[in-house]
Amino acid sequence: MGEPAAKLIGTFGSGFSHRVEVTLRLKGVPYELVLEDLRNKSDLLLTHNPVHKMIPVLLHGDRPAICESLVIIEYVDEAFAGPSILPTDPHKRAEARFWARFIDEKFARPFWMSFWSTADVGGKVHEDFVNEAKGNLLLLEGQLNGNSFFGGDTIGLVDIAAAGLAHWLGVFEEICGVTLVTNEEFPGLTRWAKAYIEDEHVKQCLPERGQLVAMFSACREMFRGMPTAPK
């Protein structure tokens, strides 16, 4: 890929890091990846994201860092040449942003809790989370509209935001013994997940499945005791 044009502070196994890496790759931006140990945060991370103290963080030139994965994706799309990640039509752009935010704000929690919740959490039991997650999955299934990707023929903002559903889902299903997505119930999403993980740019920055299984298995008891997804 050539001399790094940007530095990404990320961590192994994070779907949020993956979002930024895949965006940089799709845009053809050479980058340096700095892997952070989140149990022992570096000065680099604390200096550049003093507000949330979270990865991913993007450093580009001498200007202040860009934080928050969805914000970084849009920044990279606008700051660098290469194929567009967001549609050019303003209405379609707004729709893509809406569904990307839906994934973080409405989809993510019941999805996560469908795997990891064991007890009554905030008045909800495991089955409530599964039902909620499936309702959200149906909404996403509808958005595919027979297309390969949410944005049409090529990977865009919503596909990148939903990457956890493509690659991390199977890992969680295996570890937790919960099947959330079947081809019978969600044929569009199943096809989409396969197409996403088979994309050449995506493949290059997907964490290896066995390593993900090991990592999430090691944290299983910790996740099960949490009232929400880890931050």
Ligand X SMILES: N[C@@H](CCC(=O)N[C@@H](CS)C(=O)NCC(=O)O)C(=O)O
Q: Interface residues with ligand X (CB under 6 A)? A: 11, 14, 16, 38, 53-56, 68-70, 231
Nearer to ligand X, 63 or 231 (CB): 231
Q: Shortest Cβ distance from residue 215 to ligand X (Å)?
A: 11
Long-range contacts of 175-183, Cβ-Cβ distance < 8 Å, separation of 24 or more = 175/115, 175/213, 175/216, 175/217, 175/220, 176/115, 176/116, 176/220, 178/114, 178/115, 178/130, 180/111, 180/114, 180/115, 180/130, 180/133, 180/134, 180/137, 181/137
CA distances from 197 to 22, 120, 192, 224 (A): 11, 34, 9, 27
Q: Shortest Cβ distance from residue 203 to ligand X (Å)?
A: 21
Displacement of CA 75 from its chain's centroid (Å): 17
Give the whole-angstrom CA distance, residue 109 versus residue 117. 11
Q: Shortest Cβ distance from residue 190 to ligand X (Å)?
A: 25
Q: Shortest Cβ distance from residue 197 to ligand X (Å)?
A: 19
Give the whole-angstrom CA distance, residue 73 versus residue 67. 10
Q: Which residue is nearest to ligand X (CB)?
A: 54
Nearer to ligand X, 101 or 203 (CB): 101
Nearer to ligand X, 138 or 222 (CB): 222
Nearer to ligand X, 38 or 195 (CB): 38
Give the whole-angstrom CA distance, residue 93 versus residue 86. 6
Q: Shortest Cβ distance from residue 15 to ligand X (Å)?
A: 7
Nearer to ligand X, 69 or 117 (CB): 69
